Amino acid sequence: MDKISVTLTTNYKEKPAGPDIPFGVFTTDHMFLMNYDREQGWHDPRIVPYAPFQMDPACMVLHYAQEIFEGMKAYRDEEGRIRLFRPEENFKRMNDSCERMSIPKIDVDFCVEAVKQLVTLEKDWVPTAPNTSLYIRPFIFATDIHVGVHASHTYQFAVILSPVGPYYATGLAPVSIMIEEDDVRAVRGGTGFTKCGGNYAASLRAGEKAEEKGFSQVLWLDGVERKYIEEVGSMNVLFKIGGKIVTPALNGSILPGITRKSCLQLLRDKGYEVEERRLSVDELIGAARDGSLEEAFGSGTAAVVSPIGSLYYKGETFVISGGGIGPVAQDLYDTLTGIQWGRVADPYGWSQVIC
Ligand code: COI
């Protein structure tokens, strides 16, 4: 691969001030781009001023949604250094998404290096206030200009950056979640395990319905029997039931979260018994009724560890952990964010200082 060329902007933007940075609103001054065609493979890696894409109306992604993305963060530690968290894992998962979506694979190490260079250039955009970070959004989309259905022969790869505060408007306070009974997000054999935009498009109607009813997000059931717990809109989901941690096993329709994987390792190392298995909604609601459902929380890059204060199902609301943050979620949040922000020892080598 060629060396990454850099063209600096002449029009620097104002950075958001203060601790309350809304999620996903601001973008930085530069972005990383590279392109794919059959002759050259991935080529022309470049850091350029952040700017809109020009698109032909027949650009294939607009019609057939051949698009994938990733989500990762850069954190500022107490010494002012910038850290990434397991960035290789994101690009390995991106390659799994590429494979399912017929997109040519990327070079994991090269993409990690591109992110490091871009974040280093934009390091002043990594916010300093507690619970803020720089969200990193790599994505790839089909760019052939063609109205017929086939895998594109050309692609755009891009990385944009966004300084963010907590994902949920409630901050770190527990979220209320509605269990969705009608729409489904994904089925086995489909694209549920990938981070493709289409998965999220299919989730929007239920998300809107949940928001209208005052819930933060939906909890999805499996697409075949609508019986087993899968994941929440923007996070994987974990429960403490009868003293054990239970989370849906990866089955092809659930996103293999990097935060999920990290949380499971931390929980096992803290001595919890962890079960990755099928968990039916009936078992979950039964546990909520008999008091053995002690805690529920989500995990995700954007969501970090988000306690779930209540679950709504078939007209009933089940309050969990008295509607507050349970001790396991709090401990996990403290350890995970401690590693991410370099506040606690990292025996795993997950947190990488980049500048
Ligand atoms: C993430 O956690 O990074 C996500 O991609 C979830 C969401 C913002 C789509």
For the Cβ of 133 lying below 6 angstroms from any atom of ligand 1, the answer is: no
The pLDDT, as a whole number, for residue 20 is: 86
Instruction: Answer yes or no: do 192 and 323 share one domain.
Output: yes
Q: Given this model, what pLDDT does residue 18 score?
A: 75
Among residues 122, 144, 164, the one where a domain terminates is: 164
End-of-domain residue from the set 164, 187, 212? 164
| DSSP E strand boundaries for 81-232 | 82-85, 133-142, 155-164, 175-179, 217-221, 229-232
Same domain, 215 and 336: yes
Give the CATH number for residue 187: 3.20.10.10
> Would you say the CB of residue 233 lies under 6 angstroms from ligand 1?
no
> How far is ligand 1, taken at its centre, from the CA of residue 314, in Å?
27
- Residues 192 and 284 both lie in one domain: yes
Distances (CA, A) of 321 to 247, 310, 325, 330: 17, 9, 7, 12
User: In terms of domains, do 333 and 239 share one?
Assistant: yes
**Count of CB atoms within 10 A of residue 273's CB?**
11
Is residue 299 within 8 Å of residue 305, measured between CB atoms? Answer: yes
Quick one: 111 and 143 in the same domain?
Answer: yes
Instruction: State the distance from the centre of ligand 1 to the C-alpha of 168, rounded, in angstroms.
Output: 11
Mark the ranges of the chain whose per-residue pLDDT is less than 70: 170-171
Distance CA 176, CA 319 (A): 9
Same domain, residue pair 63 and 99: yes
Domain shared by 271 and 307, yes or no:
yes
- Does ligand 1 lie within 6 Å of residue 301's CB atom? yes
- Same structural domain, 179 and 327: yes
CA distance 144 to 103: 12
Q: What is the pLDDT of residue 104?
A: 98
Residue tagged 């979220």 (tokens): 175
Which residue, of 125, 145, 164, is where some domain finishes? 164
CATH code, 19: 3.30.470.10
Best residue for ligand 1 mutational test, from 301, 305, 340 (most atoms within 8 Å of Cβ): 301
What's the CA gap between 340 and 346, in Å, rounded?
A: 9
- Which residue lies with its CA nearest to atom 9 of ligand 1? 234
Quote the pLDDT of residue 171.
67
Q: Which domain holds residue 137?
A: 5-164
Cβ(71) – ligand 1 distance below 6 Å: yes
| 258 within domain boundaries | yes
Ligand 1 in reach of 234 Cβ (< 6 A): yes
* pLDDT for 123: 97
Residues 296 and 183 reside in one and the same domain: yes
Residues 157 and 203 in one domain: no
Domain match, 43 and 65 both: yes
Q: Is 87 in the pocket of ligand 1 (CB under 6 A)?
A: no
Q: Residue 333: what pLDDT?
A: 94
Please enumerate in sequence order all residues whose Cβ is within 8 A of that of 293, keeping only pairs 6 or more positions apart, or say none.
239, 240, 241, 284, 287, 318, 320
Tokens of 333: 């949040």
Q: Measured from the CB, is residue 300 less than 6 Å from ligand 1?
A: yes
